[in-house]
Amino acid sequence: MFRHTPFRIATLLALLVGMVIASFFAGYFGLEIMSEIIVLAILVLALDLVAGFGGMVSLCHGALLGFGAYAFAVFTALLGWDPSVAMIAAIAATGAVGWIIGALCSGSHGIYFIMVTLAFGQMAYSFVFGAAFLGGDDGMSGITRPDLSAIGVDLNDSRSFVLYALVCAVIAYLFAAQFLRSGLGRSLVGVQQSEQRVRALGLVPWRTKAHAFGVSGLIAGLAGVLAAQHIMYISPGLLSWTVSGEALVVVILGGLGTLVGPLVGAVAFVLIKHEVAAVTPYWHLVVGVILIAVVMSRANGIFGFVEVRLNRRRAAKVAATDVKTDAKLGKTEGQVRDA
């Protein structure tokens, strides 16, 4: 079950402080990269919630992100709603869509679950691609950012936007962590471990799965809204299954089922992508090699790798101190063993 260990909290704080400091030193291009990291981080948070804690490996999270982005664009650019109202409505709508997809897919498992979610994602992609009122393959422009001038913040400034997106990411993280520590989140882990057993205890697994997918949809919706606000132009590419695939790669790279790991993964992924792309256009190759290495090391991603080693070292230290204390107290070896 989800726990906040000191190492996890330290990692979170380091990421947060690092981002805030970086935002004051980064130039325009750096700030763009940071916005990209934050959007991806929120998306992988949503994906880890269902994949890492519910065993629901989804290939439609790109489509959920795209749905959130398009919903925001429709509400603002087509219907002329206030961006903050549109934002809440788009997030809620994506949550509802997530719940429906989760409910419909909850009966399938493993590879079948992946395929059904992929089908949903591709359906959404094809629809948006062909829908004239959504601009078809031309996409949509004219998307506005929320007006925070009342509190003295101009979101059209890149730095302010990064900090605003960061606040959204913190809220998304706290929301996800709170969900995982709630009764519903804990029973999601039970459903992942043994659906047969929770059913025999009186829980209806599909409901728990659908609720979790709905919560994940809310978070993915937020990522979509931020993506739309960031670029202020959206295209059907956002809903592509490759976006879902990339999110899955990031979750695995960071550490599935740790919630913190995928955030580390998002930072690592975007940085590798931009740094390597500057040298060679074959940056996918480098990411691929790293992913293979991570998976073959049998560690649970970069974060899981460090976490497991730290825990082992701490356990060894505790054991060593115990023996020392016992020796000081003048216990014989036999007594220590009995204790």
By the criterion CB under 8 A, which residues form the site for other proteins? 1, 178-179, 181-184, 186-187, 189-190, 193-194, 196-204, 208, 211
Say if CB 217 and CB 97 are below 8 A apart. yes
Report d(CA 89, CA 72) in Å as an integer. 8
Q: Cβ of residue 186: shortest distance to other proteins, in angstroms?
A: 5
Q: Cβ of residue 178: shortest distance to other proteins, in angstroms?
A: 8
Q: Which residue's CB is nearer to other proteins, number 110 or number 183? A: 183
Q: Which long-range contacts (CB under 8 A, 24 or more apart) does 21-26 make?
A: 23/159, 23/162, 23/163, 23/166, 24/159, 26/159, 26/162
Q: Which residue's CB is nearer to other proteins, number 199 or number 312? A: 199
The DSSP output letter for 2 is -
Q: Cβ of residue 184: shortest distance to other proteins, in angstroms?
A: 5
Q: Which residue's CB is nearer to other proteins, number 197 or number 309? A: 197
Q: Which residue's CB is nearer to other proteins, number 62 or number 205? A: 205
Q: Cβ of residue 192: shortest distance to other proteins, in angstroms?
A: 8
Nearest-10 crossing angle of helices 241-254, 301-328: 20
Residue 234, token pair as written in the block: 């959206």
Residue 97, token pair as written in the block: 């869509």
Q: Which residue's CB is nearer to other proteins, number 199 or number 314? A: 199
Smallest Cα–Cα separation from 165: which of 260, 77, 37, 274? 37
Report d(CA 286, CA 288) in Å as an integer. 5
Q: Cβ of residue 176: shortest distance to other proteins, in angstroms?
A: 12
